[in-house]
Amino acid sequence: MKQVISCLRERGIDVACNVPLADHTTWKIGGPADLLITPNTKVELMEIINILVNHGAFWMVIGKGSNLLVTDKGFRGAVIKLNQALDYARFEGNMIHAGAAYSLIKLAAMASKHGLSGLEFAGGIPGTVGGAVYMNAGASGSDISRIFHSAEVIHETGEVRMLYADELQFAYRHSSLQNHRGVVTEASFQLASQDSESIRQLLNQHKEARLKTQPLPFDCAGSVFRNPPGHYAARLIEQAGLKGTRHGGAEVSTKHANFIMNTGQATASDVLALISRIQEEVHSQFGVHLVPEVIIVGEQ
């Protein structure tokens, strides 16, 4: 890592060592990353990937860390966090071109102001555009794939490619980006014209529904498990009698059983213990295996 650090610093790239990832996840949980690198331009981002790949360093990119569980030992390698360089949105007719670091919530609000419909589902998803494309984030019966046009992706080979919807193989919380190492830098979405007021009303309805059903004042990462085919994970967890179950500082929400809250001092081990307990209990009672939707990273 020393060589990587000096190589990055020689080029004037911001790099910090031993950075607690708890400060970069919505769960507010996670040990340190060896390196945290924040590119100031797209060219810098390409340079960073090139340096990391050439040195055989392990790396990952993060957005707002709203779907991440980082282990207590932390991440051995480099975390690239996209920031202001890719924090923009451009509106052109019915198309929106957004930088990967742009907030999805902000994008939904901006689309409503521009009288563009299609992003109402995203009004309460606290991730970035890049994270949303990677995850095919969705809610209220819609998801990113419904409005996705294309994305610019930097592959670890250094190749920059424009990928279109059919190449991303979108499925439930899945895109083909999950099979390859690469960084989304920009995504374009195709929306439909509609009057701003009706879009705003739908956004508000979704917001109110979230406030009623989700433990939003607590640090969390949204739904912990994917919905298994034919089931709702939250219902299975509730029927298994697990609402309110605690491990250390982690608790299965009594408001939404698929949310695990950090009640203040939760560790990743606490959350992992609850995840295992839920999986065992749901499997033994209903014969259904729950698969985490949150992405678990870091040294075990």
We find the least distance from the C-beta atom of residue 30 to ligand FAD, in angstroms, to be 11
We find the least distance from the C-beta atom of residue 66 to ligand FAD, in angstroms, to be 3
DSSP conformation class of 220:
-
Tell me if residue 173 is catalytic.
Answer: yes
Tell me if residue 276 is catalytic.
Answer: no
64 or 247: whose CB is closer to ligand FAD? 64
In the range 91-150, which residues lie near ligand FAD by CB under 6 A? 100, 125-128, 130-132, 134-135, 137-139
64 or 97: whose CB is closer to ligand FAD? 64
Expressed in angstroms, the distance from the first to the final Cα of the chain is 20
Tell me if residue 223 is catalytic.
Answer: yes
We find the least distance from the C-beta atom of residue 163 to ligand FAD, in angstroms, to be 11
CA 85 → CA 44, 58, 136, distances in Å?
A: 10, 23, 23
Cα–Cα nearest to 274, from 79, 93, 16, 29: 29
Chain-centre distance for alpha carbon 72: 19
CA 110 → CA 89, 117, 204, 208, distances in Å?
A: 9, 11, 14, 19
- Spell out the residues 6+ positions from residue 132 whose beta carbon is closer than 8 angstroms to its own: 104, 122, 125, 144
The residue type of 239 is: Q
DSSP conformation class of 257:
T
184 or 234: whose CB is closer to ligand FAD? 184
Question: What is the contact mask toward ligand FAD in residues 59 to 98, using x (rule: CB under 6 A)?
Answer: -xxxxxxxxx-------------x----------------
The 10 Å Cβ neighbour count of residue 141 is: 7
For residue 97, the cross-strand partners are 90, 188
We find the least distance from the C-beta atom of residue 108 to ligand FAD, in angstroms, to be 12
Which residue in 152, 173, 175, 186 is the catalytic one? Answer: 173
Point out the residues that are catalytic.
173, 223, 293
> Which residues make up the interface to ligand FAD (CB under 6 A)?
26, 60-68, 82, 100, 125-128, 130-132, 134-135, 137-139, 177, 183-184, 214, 216, 220-222, 295
